[in-house]
Structure 1
Amino acid sequence: MATYVLIHGAASDSWYWHRVIPLLRAAGHDVVTPDLPVSDPACGIPEYTQSAIETIGEHVADGLIVVAQSLGGFTAAMLATRVPTKLLVYLAAMAPKAGETPGEWWEATGYSEAKQENDARLGIGENPDTLVTFFHDVPEDLAGEALGRPVQQSDGPFHSPPMPELPEVPTRFLLCRDDRMFPADFQRRMAKERLGITADEMIGGHLPALAHPEELVRHLERFRVEAGL
C-alpha cells in the first residue's frame, strides 16, 4: 500500500480529486487530500505547505507519493523538502525553480508568448473564457459543479518568498496534450529546462482529474511501480 498526497491547484479545493480518490483506494492505497487556504490573502506557499503537513499528520511516517496539479507544483516542491517523500509527480503543473517566486514564474518561463501561440494555432480568440480554457473536455455536469463551488483564489502565493532548492527525490512530470492553460510544447520545455527530465504525456486538458480520472490513475500507478514502491 502506498500513501498518495494529492495537492490541488489555484481556485480549487480537495473536491477536484473526488473522481480519483475512490480509484486509488480501490487499488489498496491511502489517499490524503489537503484543502489549502487559497482564499486567505495572508497565505502563500509556505502557509499552503504547512497546511498540507498538518493534514498529512500521522501519514508522514509512511513515505509519500506527492501529486500536484497546476499551481500546486510550488506547494508540492516545498512539501517534499519537509516530509518523507518517495515520489513527486507534477501534473499539468507550474514547474518551480530555486530562487524564483511564483509571481516571477510567468515572465521567467515565457508563458504568455507560449499560450498566445497555442491559442492562435487552435483558433481561440483573445481573452477566452474559463470554459474554453479549462473545461473544454470536462463533462458538462462536472464543469457546472466546479464553477458553482464557492472557492476564491487570493494572490497570496504570488507574493511568496523565492523558492528554496528543489527536493532531491524521484520526480515525474505528466503533461496533458490538449492543455490550453499550459500548452504541451511549453510543458515539455519546462520539464527539460527546470527539472532535467522528459515529460510523460496523457490525453486531455488542464483538469485531468475531472475529465480523465481512470487514465490519470493508470499513469500514477505506473509511476509508482516503476519507482519500486
Structure 2
Amino acid sequence: MTVFVLVHGAFRGAWSWSRVRRRLAAAGHEVYTPSLTGMGDRRHLTGEPPSLDTWALDIASLLFDEDLRDVVLAGHSQGGIAIAAAARRCADRLARLVFVDAPEPLPGECAAGLLGPVPDLPRDLWLPPTPLADPSLDPATLAWANARLCPTPLAPSLDPMPPQTEASAAVPRQYIFCTGTPPGYPASVTLDRLRAGGVPLHLIESGHDAPLGHPADLAALLQGAS
C-alpha cells in the first residue's frame, strides 16, 4: 500500500483528481486530494490571496497532521509549484515527487516568469477561469468540469521558488507530460529542460487534463512509480 497526495492545478480543486483517486483507492492505496487555499471547496477563502508558501503549508500541514510518511506527492499543472515548494518543508515525509504536465521552476524563478517577462500585475489579482475546451474530454466531462472551475490567485505564480534544501533536492522526481497540451503552458519550459538534460520522462497521449481524460493511464503510471 502506498500513500498518495494528489494536488490540483489552477482553476481546479480536489475534484479534478476524483477519477484517479477512485482507481488508486480501489487498488488498496491511501489517497488524499486536498484543495489548496482559495481553490476548489476552499474557494470561499479569498480574503487575502494565498502565497506560494501558503500552498506549501497546506500540503506540509496535511502530511504532518495525518502523520503521513513515504508519500508520493503529485501535482498537476500549477500544482507542480505547490509540491515543489512543499518539498522544502516536508522532504522527510516524501518518497517521490511527481510532476504531471507541471512546471518545476528553478530556485529563484517564479512560474509566471518561465515564458518571458512578468507583466506588472497586482499580487491580489484573481484570474477568472476560461472554460475548458480539451478535445480529449467528452462533452459530459467538459460540462461537469466547467461547472466547478473557480478563479485562481496570481500571487503563488509571482513568488520565487525557495532554495532547495539538501533533503528536498534528494527526493526522487518523476515527470509526466501530456502530448496534447497547447503551446504557452509553463510546463513546456520544464519539458524542454528535461529533454536537454536527458532526464527520463513519461508522455501520455492526452490533452492537458489527463487526470480527467485518461485517469487509468495516469493511475497506472503513478502506481508504477511507487
What TM-score, normalized by structure 2, do the two folds share? 0.80
Aligned to 1:168: 170
Tell me by how many angstroms 1:143 deviates: 0.9
Change (3 A) 1:24 1:185: same
Instruction: Tell me if the contact between 1:99 and 1:164 (Cα under 8 Å) persists in the aligned partners.
Output: yes
Aligned to 1:48: 55
Matched, 1:209 2:211: yes
Counterpart-to-counterpart distance in 2, 1:11 and 1:52? 18
Aligned to 1:98: 107
What amino acid does structure 1 have at the position aligned with 2:209?
A: L
Matched, 1:26 2:33: no
Instruction: Give per-residue Cα distances to partners, 1:53-101, cap 9 Å, x unaligned.
Output: 2333444442210111111111111212222111111000012211112
Aligned to 2:11: 11
Tell me by how many angstroms 1:150 deviates: 5.2
> Greater share of helix residues, 1 or 2?
1
Matched, 1:190 2:224: no
Instruction: Give per-residue Cα distances to partners, 1:180-209, cap 9 Å, x unaligned.
Output: 25499755313245x862221111010101
Tell me by how many angstroms 1:8 deviates: 0.5
Tell me by how many angstroms 1:37 deviates: 1.5
**3-state DSSP of counterpart to 2:152:** coil
Query: Given the alignment, which residue of 67, 84, 88 partners 1:77?
Result: 84
Instruction: Give per-residue Cα distances to partners, 1:166-192, cap 9 Å, x unaligned.
Output: 632111100111222549975531324
Tell me by how many angstroms 1:42 deviates: 2.2
Tell me by how many angstroms 1:158 deviates: 2.3
Counterpart-to-counterpart distance in 2, 1:93 and 1:185? 8
Q: Which runs of 5 or more residues in structure 2 are unaligned?
A: 118-129
Q: How many residues align structurally?
A: 201
What amino acid does structure 2 have at the position aligned with 1:188?
A: L
Aligned to 2:123: none
Instruction: Tell me if the contact between 2:77 and 2:187 (Cα under 8 Å) persists in the aligned partners.
Output: no
Tell me by how many angstroms 1:131 deviates: 3.6
Instruction: Tell me if the contact between 1:178 and 1:184 (Cα under 8 Å) persists in the aligned partners.
Output: no
Counterpart-to-counterpart distance in 2, 1:205 and 1:183? 15
Counterpart-to-counterpart distance in 2, 1:178 and 1:21? 22
Instruction: Tell me if the contact between 1:5 and 1:67 (Cα under 8 Å) persists in the aligned partners.
Output: yes
**3-state DSSP of counterpart to 1:99:** coil
What TM-score, normalized by structure 1, do the two folds share? 0.79
**3-state DSSP of counterpart to 1:106:** coil
Q: Which runs of 5 or more residues in structure 1 are unaligned?
A: 109-128, 225-229
